[in-house]
Amino acid sequence: MKRLLLSILLALLVGGAAWLWTPDRDRAALEARWLASPADLVDIAGTRLHVRDEGPRDAPAVLLLHGFGSSLHTWDTWATALRERHRVLRIDLPGHGLSGPDATGDYGDARSLALLVALLDARGLSRVTLVGHSIGGRIAWRFAAEHPDRIERLVLVAPDGFASPGFEYGRAPEVPTVLTAMRWVLPRAALKANLEPAFADPAMLDDALLTRYHELMLAPGNREALLHRMRQTVLEDPVPRLATIRVPVLLVWGERDAMIPVSNAGDYLRALPDATLERLPGVGHLPQEEAAQASAGALVRWLARTAPR
């Protein structure tokens, strides 16, 4: 009887593992679904990046950086609102979307900044308005601080950067062992449970949006790259860098952001010399998706007010 019970338990464990196991998706199939043009896959500083470049080539340029686990598709509505009067560039950061892992294995902020410089040089852009969400926001304000000659304006959407529980200054966070299992196990239901808190209204995470996030996270190498990025993230006190940013800055924040609360906006307003806060009532961590039209409208109006004379 004992041997029979062990056999049944083993069969259940194997069956459960087989049910939960989530292999990478075929890259060709993902590109067929999510790539607008083969020309959007380009080599930048030795790494293949997915880049969309839309709008008039001689118009003021805006570069959009997504957050952790996302892709350039998060900006669809914003890009549509911008591209009539702006040249709009969007990229998948390495280990996200269709870009794939960084060839160097380096996911630190310094490497991200170097990739942005190389991208701007490759596209012949001397200056841009830089937009970043969450970790893309941290990369954006660091770029503005370290490359002030390349920045006209800065837009930070619920930006990352200040210390928080589990993310101290000067040390890499400990990645829980259970989280490393996502390399092999990432069922759709588990991703949904982790994404829903990013929305004030969980119903906004509809089937199409969940499908996009899930499929692109399963692109070959992306999950391993995301784990490397987490392990290589070392925060530094942002105040000294933020204080050097002299261009106009727009902060966009959902008032019901459960990931990076809107109260953090006060830290940025105190540190930045020229910053404006756009608060969005009833919106969570993803204003560009949950309140796409309202947040895009706020951006377009701000860009018109702060356009260089």
> How many distinct structural domains can be found in the chain?
1
Q: Which residue is listed with tokens 């860098």?
A: 241
Check residue 19 and give its pLDDT: 55
Residue 136 belongs to some domain of the structure: yes
CATH of the domain at 235: 3.40.50.1820
Domain carrying residue 153: 22-305
Check residue 110 and give its pLDDT: 96
Residue 266 belongs to some domain of the structure: yes
Residue 201 belongs to some domain of the structure: yes
Residue 182 belongs to some domain of the structure: yes
Alpha helices by DSSP H, 232-276: 239-242, 265-271
Residue 8 belongs to some domain of the structure: no
Residue 92 belongs to some domain of the structure: yes
* 3-state secondary structure (DSSP) of residue 106: coil
Residue 296 belongs to some domain of the structure: yes
Check residue 44 and give its pLDDT: 97
Check residue 308 and give its pLDDT: 78
Residues in the chain predicted with pLDDT less than 70, given as ranges, are: 1-19, 309
Cα–Cα distance, 72 to 266 (Å, whole number): 28
What tokens were used for 142? 């660091």
Residue 232 belongs to some domain of the structure: yes
Check residue 127 and give its pLDDT: 97
Q: Tell me phi and psi for residue 251, to 5 degrees.
A: -100, 125
Check residue 218 and give its pLDDT: 97
- CA 305 from chain centre, in angstroms, equals 26
